Amino acid sequence: VQDVLDQYGFYPLPRWDTISEEDWKVISTISEAESFQEAAQVLNSSIEKLGQKIGVMRDGEIFPRKGQDFNYLKRYSQQLIQRYSTKKKLENIEKQLMRIWKALSEMM
């Protein structure tokens, strides 16, 4: 099972409220960068400080503990952004449907 998780990235999502604005900046930067060096440069950080931040994010279960190379973290970051983007869109659709349902109910 672990091999499938590692290969396809089907890890459970971290709780939304555990991801800070700073964490999202790191996630977004890693998802777009080509290397740790580029990500650190975009974040105005050293590679060492970026590594420490990634370690803290692993401890906070935002990043999986396994998968040390950059490409793995890049793919995971891209998946995390995509999954939360989809989740947020679905929640907005649900809210709109509830408003429509309420309006229709009041008309009857």
The overall average pLDDT reported for the chain is: 89
Give pLDDT tens digits for 48-85: 999 999 999 999 889 888 767 899 899 889 989 998 89
Question: What whole-number distance in Å separates Cα of residue 40 and Cα of residue 26?
Answer: 9
Residue 66 has a pLDDT of 75
Confidence of residue 98 (pLDDT cuts 50, 70, 90): very high
**pTM of this structure:** 0.75
CB atoms within 10 A of CB 43: 18
Please give the tally of structural domains in the chain. 1
Domain region containing 87: 2-107
Question: What whole-number distance in Å separates Cα of residue 73 and Cα of residue 79?
Answer: 10
DSSP H or E stretch at residue 70? helix 70-107
